[in-house]
Amino acid sequence: MSKPLHQLADTLSKRGLVVLISDLLDEPDAVIRGLKHFQYRGTDVIVFHVLDPDELEFPFERATRFEDLETSEEIMAVPGLVRAHYLSEIGRLVERYRGELGAAGIDYQLLKTTDPLELALLSYLSTRGRTA
């Protein structure tokens, strides 16, 4: 994700607003650097971090086969053995994005795929309008 972010930032010639809607499941250092590049160019950035509730809650009970939709790689896992570690890691990832992007002045919102995107956008924009 980093390379396209940097390429896009380099093509923008005027101040503006970039809205990124993504699961952000990529290398956090590179993603954060790419997003900060927009700010360096004078562009406001809003990030909607979209995750499935299962990615946030890991509700699985039985041995489950997980498939990476981008690489088709598959892995079997016994949820009881990996749940605590997984939840800790996804929690750390979310908090890292929230903290580092917030500290850089980049608006960050975590959304679930079950939340209608248009309602989340309206809610965010109405909140932003009141604080601007």
For the question of whether the overall pTM of this predicted structure is more than 0.75, the answer is yes
Question: Which residues contact residue 129 at a Cβ distance below 8 angstroms, ignoring those fewer than 6 apart?
Answer: none
State how far the alpha carbon of 119 is from the alpha carbons of 29, 33, 73, in Å: 30, 29, 34
C-alpha to C-alpha distance for 54 and 72, rounded to whole angstroms: 19
Residue 120 lies in a domain: no
Residue 107 lies in a domain: yes
Residue 125 lies in a domain: no
Beta bridge partners of 107: 46
Residue 12 lies in a domain: yes
pLDDT digits (tens, 9 = 90+) for 80-99: 999 999 999 999 999 999 99
Residue 119 lies in a domain: no
* Nearest Cα residue to 31 out of 3, 69, 52, 50: 3
Domain that holds residue 17: 2-112
Into how many domains does the chain fold? Answer: 1
Helices (H), 1-132: 2-11, 28-40, 53-57, 79-103, 117-131
Handedness of CA 77, 55, 86, 61 (dihedral sign): negative
30-50 as b/e: b if 16+ CB within 10 A? ebbebbbbbeebebebbbbbb
Residue 98 lies in a domain: yes
Residue 121 lies in a domain: no
pLDDT digits (tens, 9 = 90+) for 87-132: 999 999 999 999 999 999 999 999 999 988 888 888 777 877 666 5
Residue 25 lies in a domain: yes
pLDDT digits (tens, 9 = 90+) for 2-47: 788 878 777 877 888 899 999 999 999 999 999 999 888 788 999 9
